[in-house]
Amino acid sequence: MDKSREEYERVKALNAKLKARPICIMCKTRRVQQTFLPCRHLVTCSECANKIENCALCDKPIMGTVTTYWV
């Protein structure tokens, strides 16, 4: 399998995994929407993201967030 095909398969699997778990890991009711920087984890909704200083998954300090929209 060539590298581009391997990358495609990796991204496809990651996408499927993210779609299967789009609910905030803190409140467990709202859809995840904030990507934390610099760790890039997408695990909380906007409301819960505003309440924490460290990533809820890896515990690294949050330096910023990016709103992620689901289409």
Nearby residues of 42 by Cβ (< 8 Å), 6 or more positions away: 18, 32, 34, 35, 36, 68
Domain definitions of the chain by residue range:
22-71
The pLDDT score that the predictor gives to residue 66 is: 97
Percent of the chain exceeding pLDDT 90 equals 69
Taking the whole predicted model, whether its pTM rises above 0.75 is answered as no
Structure confidence by residue, pLDDT tens digits, 5-23: 898 998 888 878 777 668 9
* CATH architecture of the domain formed by 22-71: 2-Layer Sandwich (3.30)
Q: CA end-to-end span of the chain, whole Å?
A: 30
